[in-house]
Amino acid sequence: GYTDLKINYEPFFTLVGREGCRLTELADWLAISKQSCNRTANQIKKAGYLEVKTDPTDGRAKILVMTAKGREMVSIASKVSL
C-alpha cells in the first residue's frame, strides 16, 4: 500500500497532472501560500512521488512533476475509484 500518503496530498497529484506545473501556479490554484505549498510539496518529494525538473518552456524556472512511483499510484487509484 501507500502508507506514506496523507489525504491532503491528493490535490497536488490532481493539479500537477501528467505535464507538471510550477509551484507558484499550484499555490494559486490551491489558494494557499507559496511557503505552505512548498512545505507540502517537499513532503511528497521526500516520499518519492514528486520531483523537480527544469521547465521546458523556460529554462530558468522549475516545475513539479510526478515520478514513476507517483504515476503508478495515480494509475492504481484511478482504477480503484471507478
Per-residue pLDDT reduced to its tens digit, 10-56: 999 999 998 899 999 999 999 999 999 999 999 999 999 999 999 98
pLDDT at 78 (0 to 100):
84
Could you give the CA distance from residue 80 to residue 30 in angstroms, rounded to a whole number? 25
Over the stretch 62-81, which tens digit does the pLDDT of each residue have?
Answer: 999 999 999 999 999 888 86
Q: Which of 61, 58, 42, 59 is nearest to 50 (CA)?
A: 42
Place of cell 523537480: 52
